[in-house]
Amino acid sequence: MAEIIQKSGPMISPNPALVQCLAHIAWADGAIVDQEVTFLRDLFQQLGVERYLQDSLLTEECALPKETDLQAACPDPGTRRSFLKTAVELAWVDGELSDPEWEVIKKLCWLYAVKVRNWQELSQWLARS
């Protein structure tokens, strides 16, 4: 798991909007699977997220945070890239990118002004250093 997070480059911040957004992605297809729980628990522990908040986010679906909160949490291209990489890794951790997860990722791309129309374009954008 640490290898997945390290591939993301700089660690994302423990901003509540980002933490909630990741939980929302895990729940996007209606259920959270063991691989997603493990991924998020490891990440949340590294970020210092309180255990009670982790438990809440991993046992109940949560809404996508407000756009203004997500924009404020990732004010520059570097933090946006790190967060999007982490979000994509989470969406793929169970070996499948569901349509609802892809829809959330596309919303984030639009919000962060990352112009992608399909998965291939996003993969190419994420691969750039």
**Mind listing the pLDDT tens digit for each residue in 75-92?**
998 899 899 999 999 999
Q: Tell me the mean pLDDT in the region 8-24.
A: 82
Residue range 95-104, pLDDT digits in tens: 888 999 999 9
Q: What is the pLDDT of residue 54?
A: 94
Whose structure tokens read 């949490």?
Answer: 73
Distances (CA, A) of 70 to 15, 52, 93, 114, 121: 9, 22, 22, 14, 22
Residue with the larger pLDDT of the pair 21 and 6? 21
Q: What is the pLDDT of residue 97?
A: 87
Give residue 49's identity as a one-letter amino acid code: V
Other C-beta atoms within 10 Å of 40: how many? 22
Residue range 26-68, pLDDT digits in tens: 999 999 999 999 999 999 999 999 999 999 999 999 999 999 9
pLDDT tier for residue 128 given thresholds of 50, 70 and 90: confident
CB 32 within 8 A of CB 26: yes
Looking at the structure of the chain, the number of domains it has is 1
CATH number at residue 74: 1.10.3680
**Domain residues for 27?**
2-127
Q: What is the separation, in whole angstroms, between the first and last Cα of the chain? A: 22
Name the nearest CA neighbour of 32 among 100, 80, 85.
100
Q: What is the pLDDT of residue 111?
A: 94
- Token pair belonging to 71: 């924009």
Q: What is the pLDDT of residue 11?
A: 67
